Amino acid sequence: MMEVSWWRTTFGQDEKQRIGAAIDGEHISQGSVTAAFEQALGAYLGVPYVVATTSGSMALLMALMALGVGPGDEVIVPNRTWIATAHAPLVLGAKVRLVDVLPDLPLMDVAQVEAAITPRTKAVIPVHLYGTMCDMPALKAVADRHGLAIVEDCAHCIEGERSGVRPGQLSDAACYSFYATKNLACGEGGAVATRSEELARQVKLLSLHGMSKNAAGRYHGSYQHWDMLTLGWKCNLDDIHSALIVDQLSRLDALWARRREIYERYEAGFSGTPGLGRPAVVGKSAHHLYTIWVDPARRDQILHDLQERGVGVAVNFRAIHLLSYFSETFGFKRGDFPRAEAIGDRTISLPFYPKLSDAEVDYVIAQVLEVVQG
Ligand SMILES: Cc1ncc(COP(=O)(O)O)c(C=O)c1O
């Protein structure tokens, strides 16, 4: 039996050397590495301003806060995402309006977004789930008609493109995660990318307690006093984490190309198998996760059987309105979001990372076919 873990990291010598240099540097939090990473990510994305944060969750929180989202506001969120997307507006005291996804794509249904808009709606958060982008031109048209801000959840989508649009290009802010298993990973990390210099300035301020000077500004040159200008949080990315991702950026496209090969191998292996569905891909997917859809009545048994055969599995994600906090706090029940529920009940994520060998992919395919068809 082979053991194919659900995730393996792709760090190399570059990262080890960078970490060494970062810890030998003068300031291991706000030295020069995070600034270099912010600039490099902006260049990769083609978005002028990037502020790195301690996580994708904090990037979402900072972007919404900088846009002035707070009590009395409503934010529209798709019910097919990680809990962080809904958590950020809730923490700011705003109301979350969940919307269902498209029937064939696990992405925000723009028609439902329009129907969910009220005079209190301030922002909408499209989630480019698994790496496939939402229909940003259609969403942008709706947002412009109603004066809404768009904050993209790009935790799964750095490399994606759809209809000539890339993440960050039609929104007010695009939020990234560099969590351990993401396409660009440093353990915990995130970033806000924006075309607005003013929004970037606000995010920077809010991610450093609202202080007028960062550490570099306080400790370098002749001492200058700082002021606290507003009430913020403390969630700036430090140089040690940035050291882990600054060089990965130059390998991002090569890593994507290997995941694309694995995607094609899985697709060829599964195509035409009764009882085994997969979400559609539109445009260039960032190929962050590879998921299959199975009989909901057998899903948990299939998860168990695959693990017994050495295949790592995950579930991304069950419908969030059925999680205890949401159902108990807001009274949601089964049947409220049928499409998100149907996918949440059927979905299984398979191992999907550049270090997988073809032999491992073939092993996973063979086990899935046996278990699903058996
Ligand atoms: C869709 C989505 N949004 C947001 C996040 C939050 O990112 P982080 O874990 O870096 O806070 C994640 C992380 O898994 C995610 O998958």
pLDDT tens-digit readout, 176-229: 999 999 999 999 999 999 999 999 999 999 999 999 877 666 666 788 888 999
For position 215, what pLDDT does the model report?
65
For position 219, what pLDDT does the model report?
66
Is residue 349 within a helix (H) or strand (E), and if so which, with residue range? strand 347-350
- Ligand 1, atom 8, lies closest to the CA of 56
For position 285, what pLDDT does the model report?
98
Q: Look at 25-29, 110-114, 147-151, 250-254 and tell me which has the smallest mean pLDDT.
A: 25-29
Per the listing, tokens 């991610």 go with: 207
One DSSP character per residue, 252-316 reads HHHHHHHHHHHHHHHHHHHTT-TT-B-----SB-----EEEE--TTTHHHHHHHHHHTTB--B--
Summary mean pLDDT of the chain: 95
For position 143, what pLDDT does the model report?
98
155 close to ligand 1 (CB < 6 Angstrom): yes
Q: Which atom of ligand 1 is nearest to the CA of 316?
A: 16
**Which positions are annotated as active-site residues?**
182
Pocket test for ligand 1, best of 6, 7, 54, 57 (most atoms within 8 A of CB): 57
Question: pTM, whole model, 2 decimals?
Answer: 0.97
**Mean pLDDT within 328-356:** 97
Backbone angles phi, psi at 270, to 5 degrees: -100, -15
Which two tokens mark 44?
A: 């990769």
52 close to ligand 1 (CB < 6 Angstrom): no
For position 13, what pLDDT does the model report?
87
For position 28, what pLDDT does the model report?
86
84 close to ligand 1 (CB < 6 Angstrom): yes
Per-residue pLDDT reduced to its tens digit, 219-253:
667 888 889 999 999 999 999 999 999 999 999 99
Q: Look at 24-28, 304-308, 326-330, 367-371 and tell me which has the smallest mean pLDDT.
A: 24-28
Percentage with pLDDT > 70 across the chain: 98
For residues 283 and 136, the answer to whether their CB atoms sit within 8 Å is no
Residue 26 has pLDDT above 80, yes or no: no
56 close to ligand 1 (CB < 6 Angstrom): yes
| Ligand 1 geometric centre to CA of 112 (Å) | 23
